[in-house]
Each structure stands twice: as structure tokens, then as C-alpha cells.
Amino acid sequence: MKFSANLGFLWADRPLPDAIHAAKAAGFDAVECHWPYDTPASDVKAALAATGLSMLGLNTRRGDVVGGENGLAALSGRETEAQDTITQAIKYADTIDAGAIHVMCGFAKGADAHATFVSNLRFACGTTNRTILIEPLNRHDAPGYFLQTTDQARAIIAEVNKPNLKLMFDCYHVGRTEGDLITRLADLAPIIGHIQFASVPDRGAPDHGEVDYSHVFEALADWPMPLGAEYKPGGDTDATLGWLTRFRS
């Protein structure tokens, strides 16, 4: 079993290149991040080269974070801005050779939002050969987020009908809204591009909570890519890594 450190949460108190080195020292097999854009891509590329780690993915910018935005791709009338964030993410990903770009849809609802999201996803998929990911966020943490369920995501992926559009299956988000993780993982496997995890419901390390990750990881024993540890450590990241030794063995 291989694991990726999501540096949006893990070692988030350190500059991104330093966090990459920390992930290597801790024994992770890869890294991923949220919004690396304030760090020169050349610095991230150098840290990846020095550690031998790969960057699995990054997110498109959220928009006006202070104003409460959480993505732009489903916002009707904001298509130019949304596509600018997609282009920016692809350029950064190309520089550091990141495997995937998560296109964030934002807070929206209705037919116009659906059509806008589909259009922007077709733009993204047609602009790069890299994997484009979409991720349902749970209604408790992100009320009003356009993409809320795996069924909704599956329908959108089928409608866009591009081979590089995949589902980001976050066990935490799915666990909070849909449950039945192992069955859903098996059912959705053909369209999954990346898997993330955290405890349910507190989004901490995967060594407690409602989900027994020993069973989930056993079911994913043949998954070919590192699984993304996207949990909130609530303090010193290194102090939370007992699970990593346990599940790697």
C-alpha cells in the first residue's frame, strides 16, 4: 500500500518545498497539494527532484476566498475567470509534472450551473492530456457546493465524455454524505482517478472514527496509485503518523 501526503493540510505550517522534504522523511511515496501558486513552480520542481517524489495533483484557484468563493467552474457568467484558473493550473502542473488537476466548481445550483460546469470541464479536458478531476464535497462542510454526490459526478463524467475526466473519491466526503465506502469504491472504480481519506466525522488521522480504514485499505490493496492522506492533523503532523507505519505494513 502506497500513500501520498496532501500538503494542503500536512506540514501546512512550512513552505511547500520544505513540506515536500518532510513528506519524504516521513516515508510517504508521493505528495499532492491544494493551491501552490504563491510558491514559484521552479522551487517545487527542485524539491520534487531532490526527494524523488511525484506531485499527484493540485487544485484550481477558488476565486474570491475572502468573499466566500470555493471554485468558479459552475458559476454562470464567470466562464472567462474559470477558464483562466484552469489554464493557470495546467501551466503549473506542466512545470512540475503534476499528474492531475482538480477543477473546483464552487457554490451554485440549477441547470445553468450544470451547463457551465460541463462546458468548463470540456475546455479543461481539451486543453491538456493530464487527468482532470472533479470531487463531490459533503453538504456539512460545504453547504451549497454544486457537486455533492458521486452519482452526480458520475452523470457529469458520462455527459462530458472525455477520457481524461475522472472522479476524485474522497472517503471523508463520501463517508459523511453517502457511506458504504467499500461498495461505492468498487462500483465507481472505472471512473476514479484519485482516492483520498481522513477520519469520519472529524477529518483527523485515519486511526479513529466511524470508518475502519483497515478494511477500506484491504479492499484497495490492488489500487495502483498512492492513496491521498488529506486529513487535518490538529497540531504537529509528525505526531499523527502512527497510522502510516501500521497500514504500510
Told to judge if 159 belongs to the known catalytic residues of this protein, a careful annotator would answer: no
Going by C-alpha positions, the residue among 150, 53, 146, 140 that lies closest to residue 107 is 146
Q: Domain of 24?
A: 3-248
**Domains in the chain, number:** 1
pLDDT tens per residue across span 110-139: 999 999 999 999 999 999 999 999 999 999
Q: Of 32, 135, 159, 178, which residue is the catalytic one?
A: 135
Q: Which of 159, 178, 218, 230 is catalytic?
A: 230
DSSP secondary structure of 56-125? -EEEPP-S-TTTT--BSTT-TT-HHHHHHHHHHHHHHHHHHT-SEEE--B-B--SHHHHHHHHHHHHHHH
Q: What is the mean pLDDT of residues 61-65?
A: 96
135 flagged as catalytic: yes
Percentage of the chain modeled with pLDDT above 90: 99
Q: How confident is the model at residue 249 (pLDDT cuts 50, 70, 90)?
A: low
The CATH number that applies at residue 181 is 3.20.20.150
